[in-house]
Amino acid sequence: MEADLRRLATNGTWDAVIDTSAYEPIDVAGVTKTLADNFEQYVLVSTVSAYRDWPASAVDETAPL
């Protein structure tokens, strides 16, 4: 992933990065550190908090909301 981010960093600047795939804080840190000079705003879209029992229990698409 880091090599892909470095390659992105050479492709200009953007108004925003919309991230729908970060799962752990370290994922967000990698994106924001590597691309820090390339964007004005970082937006993380996550549905992980939609699941009632997470993080105490493992969840999937069938888990209660």
Contact 31, 14 (CB under 8 A): no
The domain segmentation of the chain, as residue ranges, is: 2-49
pTM above 0.85, yes or no: no
**Cα–Cα distance measured from residue 25 to residue 33, given in angstroms and rounded to the nearest whole number:** 12
Tokens matching residue 64? 């209660």
Query: What pLDDT, in 10s, does the model give residues 5-45?
Result: 899 899 899 999 999 988 888 999 999 999 999 999 999 99
User: Would you state the pLDDT for residue 26?
Assistant: 93
How far from each other are the two terminal CA atoms of the chain, in whole angstroms?
31
